[in-house]
Amino acid sequence: MGDRLPMKASILVLPGDGIGPEVAAEGVRVLRAVAERWGHEFEFEDALLGGCAIDATGSPFPDETLEAAQATDAVLLGAVGGPKWDDPEAMVRPEQGLLGIRKALGLFANLRPVVLHPRLISASPLRADLLEGVDLLVVRELTGGIYFGEKRRETIEGVEQATDVCTYSVVEIERVVRAAASLARGRRGKLTSVDKANVLETSRLWRRVTDRIMRDEFPDVQLETILVDACAMHLLRRPADFDVIVTENMFGDILTDEASMLAGSMGLLPSASLGSPVKGRKTRPGLYEPIHGSAPDIEGQGVANPLATILSAALLLRHSLGLEVEAAAVEAAVSDVLDSGVRTRDVAGPGEPWEGTATVGEAVAAAVTEGRPMSRATPTPSAHA
């Protein structure tokens, strides 16, 4: 560890809307603490995405943001969206910014780890005995499927109808299954592929390609294949059985909201969206964001939980910058802060005291700066994906 070189990296910050700027600031605070402790040089730049970008430029994903995102080593995002831009008939919507940047950067693998902090088990609506040992990672395909297929409205014989086309190519399936299976190999060695092959043609292709990739390239990884409706049920019935789950874009969207409830609060769950490693580049393109969204109801109050964003910053260190020691140190710091009893409002028990966004961010940054005593310096067994 002593002979690792300090690293220079650029990080693009997209604070976005709602509580996005509040939580993004805490992610940056913790990344600065990491840079300081290990002697890295991180350069931060801000750009607009989502509703704030619509207000300033008319576009949810301005060209300037695209150019900055293409030039940077990694992107940290707060959240986008809010009631101000919520008219479903509007032509321009904040969410288009998010979908646009995922597609433009080729971020096809969306990692959503769900790990339970033992002290927060009571925050989950599920019974504690079902939750023991829950440590799963959903790998959601992010740039294909029904999200990106042709969309159409037409009126046929006086009746209006709408169409969303769902398409998957073999290449799109192969790359996300490989990414998920590689991650399973580094964990408990089990991959669950989720589809709807009893109904959908895309799912039948998904299943065939997955079977082949797993047989030919990952014979050491155990493959389980289940239908998406059954998966929704098993996530509640036997959540601890899952290791890595791989699935298509929309199933992944739905199942990850469900899975987040295992952990009690969405305020704790990070995500990473990864592209293919680029030859000759030391860093891997990636966008990192909390999964909780812009929470306009608590915007500007300083009560949002910054831990999902801070844990997303840890994933950024791990997956885009290759800084595993630093990533594990941030995760350990979050764990220690929770152990010490510091809580934001969303995870505080009834009558328990709670702290604001910045106080919790400062506590994690301080824990990163101080580091754990050597005997505890190993990453926790439940280290986030």
Residues 81-100, one symbol each (x = binds ligand IPM by CB under 6 A, - = not), give --------------x--xx-
Q: Which does 55 bind (CB under 5 to 8 A by kind): Mg ion, ligand IPM, none?
A: none
Catalytic annotation present for 253: yes
Shortest separation between residue 253's beta carbon and ligand IPM, angstroms: 4
Q: Are 125 and 261 in contact (CB under 8 A)?
A: yes
Residues 24-53, one symbol each (x = binds ligand IPM by CB under 6 A, - = not), give ------------------------------
Catalytic annotation present for 288: no
CA dihedral sign, ordered 20, 42, 381, 193: positive
> Between 80 and 121, whose beta carbon lies closer to Mg ion?
80
Q: Are 269 and 312 in contact (CB under 8 A)?
A: no
Place of tokens 């809010």: 82
Between CA 216 and CA 222 the distance in angstroms is: 13
* SS3 call for 43: strand
Identify the DSSP state of 239.
Answer: G
Residue numbers of the site for Mg ion (CB under 5 A)?
253
Between CA 267 and CA 256 the distance in angstroms is: 13
Q: Which of residues 162-221 bind ligand IPM (CB under 6 A)?
A: none
Identify the active-site residue in 135, 147, 288, 346.
147
> Between 96 and 380, whose beta carbon lies closer to ligand IPM?
96
Q: Are 259 and 112 in contact (CB under 8 A)?
A: yes
Shortest separation between residue 375's beta carbon and ligand IPM, angstroms: 39
> Between 55 and 95, whose beta carbon lies closer to ligand IPM?
95
Does 258 interact with ligand IPM (rule: CB under 6 A)? no
Work out the number of other CB atoms within 10 angstroms of the CB of residue 96.
17
The count of residues interacting with ligand IPM (CB under 6 A) is 4
Does 253 interact with ligand IPM (rule: CB under 6 A)? yes
Catalytic annotation present for 164: no
| Tokens describing residue 184 | 């399973």
Catalytic annotation present for 346: no
3-state secondary structure 296-311: HHHCCCCCCCCHHHHH
Nearest-10 crossing angle of helices 307-315, 20-38: 50
In DSSP terms, 56 is beta-bridged to: none
Q: Which does 25 bind (CB under 5 to 8 A by kind): ligand IPM, Mg ion, none?
A: none
Place of tokens 């607009």: 48
Shortest separation between residue 98's beta carbon and ligand IPM, angstroms: 5
Catalytic annotation present for 195: no
Identify the active-site residue in 229, 282, 297, 339.
229
Applying CB under 6 A, which residues contact ligand IPM? 95, 98-99, 253
Residues with a catalytic annotation lie at 147, 196, 229, 253, 257
